[in-house]
Structure 1
């Protein structure tokens, strides 16, 4: 598979080769692919989304990966990749069992309470001397058109679940959060500036709003979902904001 440039740049100065690695929040497996390409001895890709788990296994593992589901289901053959269908609040790995952790585009989908709990869990599975790479997005500029789309998505999510769908944390906030949890800050670099938010990205966020809408009372959810769809179509695409990469080390 092709590894996105953002992943390659974020991992370029990290000692991946021969390491046991964890991709926290696997998405479609791009970072797992990058870790394997960089020589990781073992990659655990963790996601609580079954579709993402299967996509990661198919794109990255093929016949050399293994999917472990919530019900213990396994597929593929164990080799260098294990896709774990699990909640990041309770990662099914032993204490101090991984040498390098990545969180690529994860933090923005965690509200502050969930983020704090996940940070603690990542610390639990990290071996002394481990490396951590956190890639995410700064808050969007005030004049960014997609702010309106994300605000609508958050409104529908809050009506349906009581929690926002998206929270964009400044790099300084995440740096201080992980340092406060015992990690030593290593470096920060810019991955994208501006970030190209494509039509497919915007459509995915409109679809997310629609999925929340089915659990909203009356017609409010449907109205907001329709608003999100209109905004995505009107905006089309936009390049704005910054994606950053933070690297940390755990003391030995």
Structure 2
């Protein structure tokens, strides 16, 4: 299965083989693919988006695997002789209430997750990840530093956030500096081990830019009055002007829970 270079770099120094793992916020299943490729005994890919759940299953589960809402996947031992289907459980659930027991996973990944969590949600999710982590567990957090002031795509993200604030009362995106997340997870009991740069600059492709403009327009449709139309038009205009842009940094942080 195809594993993105960022995921491979983030996991290369982590003890994945034979471990029970959790991908927190399975989008396209990038981290799930990396965990399985590195010999994880069991991977729980958790997402509250049905489309992402289906994408993850099709990408790394050979069209199969478990898809549960309660987390009651079967135990396959150490996974050394298990197929991908045997080792994968895709769970449709809110990360603020992960359907797994306390102390049940050995390694957790949050690949590109934190930037879609506002501070309140980030705190709730961090508490749940700490709850399900076994003593001595590892945590890998990969995310993006705040964009430079002169980045063109920063304006598009601001429009997306404005639409989300008006429609939902919360921002769509929050880019946390690496130093902040280091201190934040330390406050939840995790010991910091290392930081590395995964991408610099980050290639925001035309498809990425278009997807954010489409999301901004979709959310803007729920905004009151004429503000939604104006935000949607601005998002589409900016996407056309930006096209693509390479800017910013993606970082990888590694932590360990004390035994």
When normalised by structure 2's length, the TM-score is 0.93
Q: In the alignment, which of 194, 203, 208 is matched to residue 196 of structure 1?
A: 203
In the TM superposition, what is the alpha-carbon distance from 1:69 to its structure 2 partner? Answer: 3.7
C-alpha displacement at 1:63, in angstroms? 4.4
**Whole-Å Cα distance in 2 between the matches of residues 63 and 39 of structure 1?**
19
The answer to whether the Cα contact below 8 Å between 2:61 and 2:85 also exists between their aligned partners in 1 is no
Task: Find the aligned partners of 1:107 and 1:90 in 2 and give their Cα distance.
Answer: 16
Task: Give 1:91 deviation, angstroms.
Answer: 0.3
From 87, 92, 99, the counterpart of 2:94: 87
* Partner in structure 2 of residue 53 of structure 1: 53
Match of 1:105 in 2: 112
| Structure 2 residue 237 is the aligned partner of structure 1 residue 230 | yes
- For the aligned residue pairs, the C-alpha RMSD in angstroms reads 1.4
Give every structure 1 segment of 4 or more consecutive aligned residues whose post-TM-superposition deviation is greater than 2 Å.
none
In 2, the alpha carbon distance for the partners of 1:192 and 1:78 equals 31
Of residues 110-119 and 60-69 in structure 1, the stretch that sits farther from structure 2 once superposed is 60-69
Q: Does the CA contact (< 8 Å) of 1:64 and 1:80 recur in 2?
A: no
Unaligned 5+ runs, structure 2 = 73-83
Structure 1, unpaired ranges of 5+:
none
Q: Secondary structure at the match of 1:143?
A: coil
14-23 vs 221-230, greater mean Cα deviation: 221-230
* 1:68 positional shift: 1.2
What is the CA-CA distance between 1:78 and the residue it aligns to? 5.7
Give the TM-score normalised by structure 1.
0.96
In the alignment, does 2:32 pair up with 1:43?
no
Q: CA deviation at 1:174?
A: 0.3
Q: Does the 8 A contact of 1:46 with 1:83 survive in 2? A: yes
Partner residue in 2 for 1:209: 216
Q: Tell me by how many angstroms 1:27 deviates.
A: 0.2
